[in-house]
Structure 1
């Protein structure tokens, strides 16, 4: 093995170690500093609609491993039934879902749910996912098992890193982009990863969250 190859691998491992340390420290600081806001959002979810405060769903992460993904609940408790019925009666919405995996008018979302989605407050519980190592602060957004086939030849890149709380998709148009554009951005991130890129994305994420750019 050439010395240059050894050096590249060692640099990669060191960079990954630093990235993980930043994830742990960043998640801890955020949870401690914003604990009052976290509790306020939890109370808002509890009082605004019937159902649990936290919503969890199976997602795919590093090496394709399954994990439980957490969010503040923003949908009605019978969301799957409402969703299927809506798509069955609205061809335009069904087409939009197939293209973007998102809806402009999502009947599953509660009134308070619209607010916490617009402000990204629903994402706060994912700092726990970051803390325990399921996710990173920056990376591809975690996909559902049903979305795996949408990655095609790029699935290998997706599995190479932990999925992120934010990433190129969030700061490049978010829900205004098709799912295939999201896949391309995920691949671009993994292939060009650096700590500098992570810090750039984090800085741009603050602006996106404050302006609610691209959110639904």
Structure 2
């Protein structure tokens, strides 16, 4: 790292650049918008302080981890014409992040650490984080899918992905006690296919502690859901 490189100044510049890109994109994804980025950024920095991780690497990667979601449409496709398909947002985020980091003159070591954290944050991409900084960013991103905020994001995402066949829950088995959970068919099943399992994927002590708190809230939410469905607690 050269003495001329001002980490705090660059982190602030990246913050403003990413915020502007999200706000001007015009895309409506309330579960993965600037609000999500800003929450993950603040949470990642808090975890980094507790865990002794590099603040600049963590903060920058947290800001850039979903940049691919607001990429120009032509960048988001693997090809043109009938064969075109959407690229994974983590791959596109890493590509756009590399361009931005180069423009800001981020040194090689920090740049590689940030790009690894950006790629490794994704649940579906399945890449294990190899550094403390990447683990912090991944934990922060997954924590935003838990707790009260997680319930809100679950409802938003489920609605956006719903098809004509989608139902809120299986009326015969709402809590997936007898059927194999299928969150493409039933929205509530997403708790059982993914959300309730995220705690086991946390890789920092701080992340695990926060996950347990947020998962406890989600369990209470499901208990209340069951109580209301079964009409339990009616006045005697």
Alignment TM class, shorter chain as reference:
0.3 to 0.5
Q: Please report the TM-score for the alignment, with normalisation by the length of structure 1.
A: 0.34
Q: Which has the larger share of strand?
A: 1
**Structure 2 length as normaliser, TM-score?**
0.32
Q: Radius of gyration: which is bigger?
A: 2
Of structures 1 and 2, the one with the larger relative CO (CA 8 A, separation 6+) is: 1
